[in-house]
Amino acid sequence: MTTLHDLVFPGGKFLGIEWHVWKVVGWAGNLAFFLRFLIQWRATEKHKRVVIPVVFWWLSLAGSVLLFSYALFYQRDSVFIFAYAFTWIPYIRNLVIHKRQRQGGQSCGKCHSPTPDHARYCPACGARMEG
């Protein structure tokens, strides 16, 4: 008779997967990419327009570093390594741009979020900037 334990831990493996440090790293990378999708979707639904919160870029960076590490040190698969070798570049660039926006610029009159000097609309709430 098959027990619940046998279903969850077949052959001593959790969900049929042999777990070790690199599997955790790889799955953590997948989780980071999945969470960024949920966060961006929620932000867009909340604002009723496309919004990409800064945490999206942090999760993207974390996911790409974790998956690159998994590919490089565990899988050693050139296709997988190349797929994640350069994905961090736009994520870091967007984080730098975000930091610069927060350091300078103007403030939205509606939501008080920092906004670049040249912006005509607030990136946080979509309100038209005055001036």
pLDDT in tens, 104-113: 667 787 887 8
- Please check whether residue 35 lies inside any domain of the structure: yes
Strand partners, 17: 14
Q: What distances in angstroms separate CA 49 from CA 41, 75, 104, 126, one per listed residue?
A: 10, 39, 25, 8
- Please check whether residue 28 lies inside any domain of the structure: yes
- Please check whether residue 32 lies inside any domain of the structure: yes
Q: What is the enclosing helix (H) or strand (E) of 14?
A: none
- Please check whether residue 92 lies inside any domain of the structure: yes
Q: Residue 48 — left, alpha, or beta (φ > 0 → left; ψ -120 to 50 → alpha)?
A: left
Give start and end residues of each alpha helix (H) in 9-103.
21-47, 54-69, 78-85, 88-103
- Please check whether residue 88 lies inside any domain of the structure: yes
pLDDT at 125: 87
- Please check whether residue 87 lies inside any domain of the structure: yes
In the structure encoding, which two tokens stand for residue 50, read together? 């496309």
Which domain covers residue 59, as residue numbers?
20-105
Do 67 and 43 form a contact (C-beta atoms < 8 A)? no
pLDDT at 38: 96
- Please check whether residue 43 lies inside any domain of the structure: yes
pLDDT in tens, 51-100: 899 999 999 999 999 999 999 999 999 999 999 999 999 999 999 988 88
What is the tally of structural domains in the chain? 1
- Please check whether residue 121 lies inside any domain of the structure: no
